[in-house]
């Protein structure tokens, strides 16, 4: 029998004699670590140590780590430097992952662990925890999530893949278990838009509504956050322009005003005459309300305010939109769909796609065409009429001769 190396220590345990080996190494960040393991035979101990030493020399060894999924997710989120609204969406999508595996070391997470989360989300059996949970969720004591659609599960998988990619780059894990889990097939949701006649009906029906100016801005293609952040200093009646330079977004516990969604979202738009009339009427209404209410009036300087001049929460505006549609006898469409309607109506009237993209604040005109300019029955009928005029037109006799 070969002589036992001095770095292999014999240890007496309740299960019998074991052979302990310790290897010292350095992590990619420069910190030191000690790797200790026990084996039943000297040969197994020697083989393991040789493997680890070789991996350390080649920079491929993964040091033991007690970092948990919750710690990894929190660390990754801190490094994203994203808008509050995007951060809120990331937290929401990652909550099932942390609720299920939060206390588990990342080095122990397997593909099967993540597959089980996907299955529970699809079946509506995902247990809810308290990690970054909104107060409204903790108060109602809801313990199980309603089923998630693929369109909600896939972002969770995408974020999980990014987190484990980051852990691999740091040398904390050797593989990405989330990358082994396939995304779920999705179906494109039907887009619903308002026709020109429906837009006119909505605006006429909501004239007495304190938020009527919001609906006017919405059908002109502004995002909800842009509408809520618009102030009177951004309206230039002399030049006939509206400047979009900020957005107010819903966050946990309230709302926050910040930069627009993208650089191209910061834009100055020409003010059509009907919008200018609506804005002047709203400014007059606010001035009269301020005189009537006195100290009860909240002088926020914003274009869209409630009957007391206060800035509405983004969710409040969304609920008011649904109520306005109902009062006008119109089918329900999302507030954001008013933006779709704007793009579609401009597209149907021959406005170039690049111009529509600039109006909406998009960087990619192709994205505008794919996402916002939806065909309608009227548009298809117009196309059929054009084709019919082509196919039924008489040949040019001069040309035929």
Q: What is the 3-state secondary structure (H, E, C) of the chain?
A: CCCCCCCCEEEEECCEEEEEEEEEEECCCCCEEEEEEEECCHHHHHHHHHHHHHHHHHCCCCCCCCCEHHHHHHHHHHCCCCCHHHHHHHHHHHHHHHHHHCCCEHHHCCHHHHHHHHHHHHHCCCECCCCCCCHHHHHCCCCECCCCCHHHHHHHHHHHHHHHHHHHHCCCCCCCHHHHCCCCCCCCCCCCCCCHHHHHHHHHHCCCCCCHHHHHHHHCCCCHHHHHHCEHHHEECCCCEEEECCEEEEECCEEEEECCCCHHHCEEEECCHHHHHHHHHHHHHHHHHHHHHHHHCCCCCECCCCCCCCCCCHHHHHHHHHHHHHHCCCCCCCCCHHHHHHHHHHHHCCCCHHHHHHHHCCCCHHHHHHHCCCCCHHHHHHHHHHHHHHHCCCCCHHHHC
Mean pLDDT of the chain: 84
Quote the CA–CA distance of 362 and 30 in Å, as a whole number. 44
CB within 8 Å of 260: residues ≥ 6 apart: 225, 226, 244, 245, 246, 247, 266, 361
| Higher-confidence position of 342 and 240 | 240
Alpha carbon dihedral 152, 117, 97, 259, in 10-degree steps, equals -10
User: What's the pLDDT at 170?
Assistant: 83
Using the predicted structure, report yes or no on whether residue 33 has a pLDDT greater than 50: yes
| φ and ψ of 360, to 5 deg | -80, -15
User: What's the pLDDT at 390?
Assistant: 44
Using the predicted structure, report yes or no on whether residue 86 has a pLDDT greater than 50: yes
User: What's the pLDDT at 191?
Assistant: 63
Closest CA to 48 of 57, 39, 56: 39
Using the predicted structure, report yes or no on whether residue 234 has a pLDDT greater than 70: yes
User: What's the pLDDT at 376?
Assistant: 46
Is residue 266 within 8 Å of residue 285, measured between CB atoms?
A: no
Residue 400: pLDDT band with limits 50, 70, 90: very low
**Region for residue 17 given its phi and psi (left: phi exceeds 0; alpha: psi -120 to 50; beta: otherwise):** beta
Q: State the average pLDDT over residues 342-362.
A: 68
Using the predicted structure, report yes or no on whether residue 206 has a pLDDT greater than 60: yes
CA distance to 229, 274, 333, per residue, from 203 (Å): 21, 11, 15
Using the predicted structure, report yes or no on whether residue 375 has a pLDDT greater than 60: no
The pLDDT tens digits of the residues spanning 261-314 come to: 888 889 888 888 888 999 999 999 999 999 999 999 999 999 999 999 999 999
Quote the CA–CA distance of 351 and 345 in Å, as a whole number. 9
Between 1.10.1380.10, 1.10.150.130, 2.40.30.10, 3.40.30.120, what CATH number should domain 69-180 receive? 1.10.150.130
Quote the CA–CA distance of 187 and 268 in Å, as a whole number. 36
Per-residue tokens: 309: 């001049």
Quote the CA–CA distance of 90 and 156 in Å, as a whole number. 8
Burial status of residue 62 (CB atoms within 10 A of its CB: 0-12, 13-18, 19 or more): middle
Is residue 247 within 8 Å of residue 257, measured between CB atoms?
A: yes
Using the predicted structure, report yes or no on whether residue 136 has a pLDDT greater than 80: no
C-alpha distance across the termini of the chain, in Å: 108
User: What's the pLDDT at 386?
Assistant: 46
Residue 135: pLDDT band with limits 50, 70, 90: low
Q: What is the pTM assigned to this prediction?
A: 0.62
The pLDDT tens digits of the residues spanning 102-127 come to: 999 999 999 999 999 999 999 999 99
Among 94-98, 133-137, 339-343, the range of highest mean pLDDT: 94-98
Per-residue tokens: 366: 């192709």
User: What's the pLDDT at 249?
Assistant: 87
What dotted CATH number matches 196-381? 1.10.443.10
CA distance to 31, 80, 252, per residue, from 92 (Å): 33, 15, 11
Quote the CA–CA distance of 372 and 179 in Å, as a whole number. 31
Residue 100: pLDDT band with limits 50, 70, 90: very high
The pLDDT tens digits of the residues spanning 148-200 come to: 999 999 999 999 999 999 998 887 888 899 999 999 998 766 667 788 888 88
Among 248-257, 270-279, 303-312, 355-364, the range of highest mean pLDDT: 303-312
| φ and ψ of 38, to 5 deg | -115, 145
CB within 8 Å of 397: residues ≥ 6 apart: none
């Amino acid at each position: 029998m070969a002589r036992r190396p001095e770095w292999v220590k014999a240890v007496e345990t309740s299960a019998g004699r074991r052979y302990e080996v310790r290897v010292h190494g350095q992590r990619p960040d420069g910190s030191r670590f000690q790797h200790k393991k026990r084996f039943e035979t000297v040969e197994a101990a020697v083989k393991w140590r040789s493997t680890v030493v070789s991996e350390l020399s080649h920079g491929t060894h993964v040091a033991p780590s007690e970092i948990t999924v919750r710690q990894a997710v929190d660390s990754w989120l801190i490094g994203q430097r994203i808008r509050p609204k995007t951060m809120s969406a990331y937290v929401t999508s990652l909550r099932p992952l942390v609720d299920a595996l939060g206390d588990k070391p990342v080095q122990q997470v397997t593909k099967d662990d993540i597959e089980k989360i996907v299955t529970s989300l699809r079946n509506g059996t995902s247990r809810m925890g308290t990690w970054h949970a909104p107060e409204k969720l903790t108060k109602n004591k809801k313990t199980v999530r309603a089923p998630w659609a693929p369109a909600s599960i896939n972002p969770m998988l995408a974020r999980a893949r990014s987190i484990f990619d980051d852990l691999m780059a740091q040398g904390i894990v050797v593989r990405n278990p989330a990358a082994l889990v396939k995304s779920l097939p999705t179906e494109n949701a039907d887009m619903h838009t308002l026709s020109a006649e429906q837009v006119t009906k909505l605006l006429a029906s909501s004239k007495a509504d304190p938020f009527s100016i919001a609906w006017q801005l919405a059908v002109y293609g502004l995002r909800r956050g842009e509408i809520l952040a618009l102030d009177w200093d951004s309206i230039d009646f002399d030049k006939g322009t509206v400047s979009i330079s900020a957005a107010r977004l819903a966050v946990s516990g309230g709302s926050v005003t910040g930069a627009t969604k993208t650089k191209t979202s910061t834009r100055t738009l020409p003010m059509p005459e009907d919008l200018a009339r609506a804005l002047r009427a709203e400014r007059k209404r606010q001035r009269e309300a301020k005189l009537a209410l006195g100290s009860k009036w909240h002088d926020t300087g914003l274009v869209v305010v409630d009957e007391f001049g206060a800035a509405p929460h983004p969710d409040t505006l969304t609920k008011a939109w649904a109520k306005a549609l109902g009062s006008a006898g119109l089918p329900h469409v999302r507030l954001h769909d008013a933006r779709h309607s704007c793009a579609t109506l401009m597209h149907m009237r021959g406005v170039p796609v690049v111009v529509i993209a600039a109006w909406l604040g998009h960087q990619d005109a192709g994205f505008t065409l794919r996402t916002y300019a939806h065909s309608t029955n009227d548009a298809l009928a117009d196309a059929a009429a054009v084709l019919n005029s082509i196919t039924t037109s008489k040949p040019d006799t001069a040309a035929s001769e």
